Structure 1
Amino acid sequence: MQIKSLLAKPFAHYIYKGIRKGMHTAVEDQENIFKELLKTVKLTEFGKDHNLQQVSVYEEFIQAVPIRDYEQFKPYIEKIKEGKHNVLWKGKPIYLAKTSGTTSGVKYIPISKESISNHINSARNALLCYIAESGNSQFTNGKMIFLSGSPELERLGGIPTGRLSGIVNHHVPSYLRRNQLPSYETNCIEDWETKLDKIVEETIKQDMTLISGIPPWMQMYFDRLMERSNGKKIKEIFPNFSVMVHGGVNFEPYRQKLFESIGQKIAAVETFPASEGFFAFQDSQHAEGLLLNTNSGIFFEFVPAGEIFSPNPTRLSLKDVKVGENYALIVNSNAGLWGYNIGDTVKFVSTNPYRLVVTGRTKHFISAFGEHVIGEEVEYSLIKAAEEVGVHITEFTVAPFVQQGKGKSYHEWFIEFENAPADLSGFANRVDSYLRQKNIYYNDLITGNILLPLHIRSVKKNGFIDYMKSIGKLGGQNKVPRLSNDRRIATALEQFIE
């Protein structure tokens, strides 16, 4: 056993012990974070605009601070970009994380010196929990991929600005630098396909033990590796590869194909990071869901998903959430976000401890006819049907197809199959049946002949990659929305149909 893996075990057990202790104090920790955040925000421009000097309890806070998305928050961000101090948090942010929004174009999210540890330590803690539970620390001796956007940063208002993953790249601990791939120079490459080829070139002969990224990026990487090695499985190329870290999109639609590419099942550790904060991570290989990060500078609120666009939605703190309910996630943080709707929906699978699953996006749904179908439902339905008939899905998205007249409209599914079903119509019926079981409103519309059962359009091989390339969004941090309430993506995909 080498020195890194030898030292990793006691450190992992020390951190893991603290995390388990925090499971029992989650509500108290959240209350203490709220009080600390309130002390600071009272002194800021935001605090003065919202009379937070007069606020002392959560019930007063929700009356004073409305829920906002980025567009409504933007005037404060613009002042920060102009170089102003004490706008949303004390002083100036140490970074601005640049991210592409689906509706807001480029977004700039502040990161403060108090909040940077949330991004760094949470990723570390996910791996330490895995080591403590599994006893596997050997992977720390090998090479690891920490895929990131370009670590080269520009300056706005004197503040270093770039992709969150590029910012975090600057904070990789020195003891991991020697293990880290790809190289700094490769991470700086902007063209995605050039970058991917270079990553393959740099890693194919290395002892890769950990690979991290969003599932569609990892599958592209695996495909390229297998092409370069005459079809060898990933475990044949990297015999010591034992840990896969993923996040950004639901893992389930990609699980089967990823493990087939690897050649066997290995440990998978899921994370829930965003530019706005690192919200949760998988703390156990044996328990469902991700452990909410309740003591890391973020005070969470939860809004019943059906109320998120209401003028006065119900707002709950952690102590009032229920298992099985779908909530929009709202954050208040020591980065200076207040009543901020991050756009994700979550559902708790446990409240002792507080573990959740990500169920979709508040703006990614289909409700053209009042059905309000969400990402969790379409993913479940497709995965169940695919397992039954033995087909593998590469990528998919769903949009409404609206035609005038009762019983003429339907949901149109664009699916890229690894291996297409022999009976596409029968497969569509299976998916439709599962979706009707999951969503009673959708079922009622089918039963009432308002909607036809769903239709499937088969997308050609690499069609989604070609689509993302055509809109300039091919890359390791970009993903195709599962659901759209309009035809924008569907129309663009027409040229990639088989």
Structure 2
Amino acid sequence: MLATLLKPYAHIIRRRLRWKAGLAVALQEEIRRDLVRTARHTAFGRDHDFGAIHTYADFKQRVPIGDYEDFRSYADRIKMGEADVSWPGTPAYLAKTSGTTSGVKYIPLTRDSLPNHFGSARNALFNYVAETGHSRWLDGKMIFLSGSPEMGDTNGIPTGRLSGIVNHEVPAWLRRSQLPSYQTNCIEDWETKLERIVDETLQADMRLISGIPPWVQMYYERLLARTGKNTIKEVFPNLEMFVYGGVNFEPYRDSLERLVGSRIPSVETYPASEGFIAFQDSQTEAGLLLNTASGIFFEFVPADEIANSRPTRLSLGEVSTGVNYAILLSTTAGLWAYNIGDTVEFTSLRPHRIRVTGRIKHFISAFGEHVIGKEVEAALREVAPRHGVEVTEFTVAPQVSPPEGLPYHEWLVEYGRPPADPAAFARELDRAMVQANSYYRDLIEGRVLRPLVLTALPPGAFREYMRQQGKLGGQNKVPRLANDRRIADALRNSLA
């Protein structure tokens, strides 16, 4: 059986990961040198005098921090089919993503960067096997809820969503176990696609399920509705593993485990179109192992400095635990000091493990409070169990000019199981936020803000909103925080 054959290889991978994690700082410096040397004759390398870069100080002086807008002039040349723009040759793929400020973005994936994406996913799974001994999932069927694998063509470069590109690079040994079929994966309409996925998996020996939690939840609900069963474990008795990424699992844990009927071992991953950044390497230690030996050179900027003209830039050897950093990537795909918009903090330095704390643009600071995603999710995770509350989905927005009374933060929540006493639940949630954020506490105590207001939304509200936005299914997710009312008002309007 496949599980027996691959177990020795899994232990080799785990030993190699642990060895490299111990050399992370040195490996990062080596990767930086290799990246600069390889790209010195590209247009980007010539424009930024890569030939004169010898130290990290040189690198910071010559390579500016940038986001997609700063990279756009090079991205446009890459899209036109020009070679040697920011990395030698032309990309193997262009990953098409939706940006909040830049519109559609085209992120290059090169033959040199593909092992980062696909080798890292393999390492995460095999490391789990070696750590836990659980490998029966290898002998059954696996489902990956993803976007369409159909590729467009951009001047000869295959172009599509990252999750769809992944389907083209699945190794042969895994493809025979993979569901759904290619034809089903190509269906664009999420609800139609979901029904076909249920058709194809209903009688299968499903052992591993992978996807973004809210869309996995929708899949589970359809399975139970179709079968009349009470739990997913009744449908798939051999289900052994859940792999997820893209959003924090904790707000969804209670509802997903209720649907499954038990706690399912899980592995968290941190993939992005720009690179596979980290993955869970331990079932007992907090945080995700930073992918420090996979063609990415990481830099970190204190999050409150990222908008400065000359922010502090730190290499891996200079970071500290407990600090909120914006993360920058320089990669074998030809991205340089690229700000992906995420914030992280280190949970440990030996090895270097991180947790995602939010998005640079997903915060609330209408009054200077700078509330971040980590804080709202932690408050909800702390308070909800004490009130027997199960949350399906939520988002938070400021109400700056209410019809009466002081401004406030509005929490729009869709419940799986609502609180018996919503007012008490809201009060305790607000107390948790006061404890988590000193600026928020000062505003509450100074009567600049009144305590948060909970708005209960009916079942399906977030799905209807995502449908109206054309973002139902796939890798799309609702932002936890916004510093304006666009999402909150659209949610309300979607119900009208």
TM range (shorter): over 0.9
Counterpart in the other structure of 1:349: 347
| 8 Å CA contact 2:10, 2:126 repeated in 1 | yes
Counterpart in the other structure of 1:123: 121
Deviations 1:328-361 (CA, angstroms, capped at 9, x unpaired): 0100001000010001110100000001100100
| 8 Å CA contact 2:27, 2:292 repeated in 1 | yes
List structure 1 segments (4+ residues) > 3 angstroms apart after TM superposition.
404-407, 495-498
Counterpart in the other structure of 1:288: 286
Name the SS of the counterpart of 1:131 in structure 2.
Answer: helix
Instruction: Measure, in 2, the Cα distance between the counterparts of 1:140 and 1:404.
Output: 55
Asked if residue 328 in structure 1 is aligned to residue 313 in structure 2, the reply is no
Instruction: Measure, in 1, the Cα distance between the counterparts of 2:365 and 2:3.
Output: 51
Deviations 1:244-276 (CA, angstroms, capped at 9, x unpaired): 000000111011111111101111100000000
User: Partner amino acid for 1:160?
Assistant: P
Instruction: Measure, in 1, the Cα distance between the counterparts of 2:76 and 2:463.
Output: 34
| 8 Å CA contact 1:406, 1:451 repeated in 2 | no
Instruction: Measure, in 1, the Cα distance between the counterparts of 2:325 and 2:112.
Output: 27
Shift of 1:157: 2.0
Name the SS of the counterpart of 1:363 in structure 2.
Answer: coil
Counterpart in the other structure of 2:192: 194
Instruction: Measure, in 1, the Cα distance between the counterparts of 2:143 and 2:307.
Output: 39
Counterpart in the other structure of 2:408: 410
Aligned match for 2:267, one of 269, 282, 299: 269
Shift of 1:101: 1.5
Instruction: Measure, in 2, the Cα distance between the counterparts of 1:231 and 1:412.
Output: 37
Counterpart in the other structure of 1:140: 138
Q: How many residues align?
A: 496
| 8 Å CA contact 2:281, 2:288 repeated in 1 | yes
Instruction: Measure, in 1, the Cα distance between the counterparts of 2:211 and 2:417.
Output: 24
Instruction: Measure, in 2, the Cα distance between the counterparts of 1:326 and 1:406.
Output: 36
Deviations 1:376-414 (CA, angstroms, capped at 9, x unpaired): 000011121111101100000011100289971111110
Counterpart in the other structure of 1:114: 112
Instruction: Measure, in 1, the Cα distance between the counterparts of 2:73 and 2:191.
Output: 36
Aligned match for 2:477, one of 476, 479, 491: 479
TM-score relative to the length of structure 2: 0.98
Instruction: Measure, in 1, the Cα distance between the counterparts of 2:404 and 2:321.
Output: 38
| 8 Å CA contact 1:401, 1:410 repeated in 2 | yes
| 8 Å CA contact 1:407, 1:450 repeated in 2 | no
User: Partner amino acid for 2:217?
Assistant: Q
Q: How do 1:82-231 residues align onto structure 2 when only pairs under 5 Å count?
A: 82-231=80-229
User: Partner amino acid for 1:488?
Assistant: R
Counterpart in the other structure of 1:21: 19
Instruction: Measure, in 2, the Cα distance between the counterparts of 1:266 and 1:140.
Output: 16
| 8 Å CA contact 1:115, 1:335 repeated in 2 | yes
Instruction: Measure, in 2, the Cα distance between the counterparts of 1:436 and 1:407.
Output: 20
User: Partner amino acid for 1:184?
Assistant: Y
Counterpart in the other structure of 1:450: 448
Q: How do 1:57-72 residues align onto structure 2 when only pairs under 5 Å count?
A: 57-72=55-70
Instruction: Measure, in 2, the Cα distance between the counterparts of 1:411 and 1:467.
Output: 20
Asked if residue 339 in structure 1 is aligned to residue 346 in structure 2, the reply is no
Instruction: Measure, in 2, the Cα distance between the counterparts of 1:251 and 1:309.
Output: 29
Counterpart in the other structure of 1:361: 359
User: Partner amino acid for 2:131?
Assistant: E
Counterpart in the other structure of 2:40: 42
Instruction: Measure, in 2, the Cα distance between the counterparts of 1:155 and 1:493.
Output: 35
Shift of 1:63: 1.4
Instruction: Measure, in 2, the Cα distance between the counterparts of 1:436 and 1:462.
Output: 30
User: Partner amino acid for 2:489?
Assistant: T
Aligned match for 1:467, one of 443, 465, 468: 465
Aligned match for 2:315, one of 314, 317, 327: 317
Instruction: Measure, in 2, the Cα distance between the counterparts of 1:270 and 1:257.
Output: 18
User: Partner amino acid for 1:158?
Assistant: G
Shift of 1:440: 0.4
Name the SS of the counterpart of 1:107 in structure 2.
Answer: strand
Instruction: Measure, in 2, the Cα distance between the counterparts of 1:342 and 1:263.
Output: 37
Name the SS of the counterpart of 2:339 in structure 1.
Answer: strand
Name the SS of the counterpart of 1:299 in structure 2.
Answer: strand
Instruction: Measure, in 2, the Cα distance between the counterparts of 1:298 and 1:118.
Output: 8
Asked if residue 55 in structure 1 is aligned to residue 39 in structure 2, the reply is no
Please provide the CA RMSD for this pair: 1.3
Q: How do 1:427-438 residues align onto structure 2 when only pairs under 5 Å count?
A: 427-438=425-436
Shift of 1:147: 2.2
Instruction: Measure, in 1, the Cα distance between the counterparts of 2:34 and 2:155.
Output: 27
Shift of 1:496: 5.2
Counterpart in the other structure of 1:253: 251
Q: How do 1:383-402 residues align onto structure 2 when only pairs under 5 Å count?
A: 383-402=381-400
Instruction: Measure, in 2, the Cα distance between the counterparts of 1:145 and 1:188.
Output: 15
The verdict on how the C-alpha distance between 1:136 and 1:23 changes in structure 2, with shifts beyond 3 A counting, is same
Shift of 1:475: 1.2
Shift of 1:108: 0.5
Name the SS of the counterpart of 2:455 in structure 1.
Answer: strand
The verdict on how the C-alpha distance between 1:407 and 1:184 changes in structure 2, with shifts beyond 3 A counting, is same
TM-score relative to the length of structure 1: 0.98
After superposing the two structures, state which structure 1 stretch, 422-431 or 408-417, moved more: 422-431
The verdict on how the C-alpha distance between 1:192 and 1:406 changes in structure 2, with shifts beyond 3 A counting, is closer
| 8 Å CA contact 1:457, 1:497 repeated in 2 | no
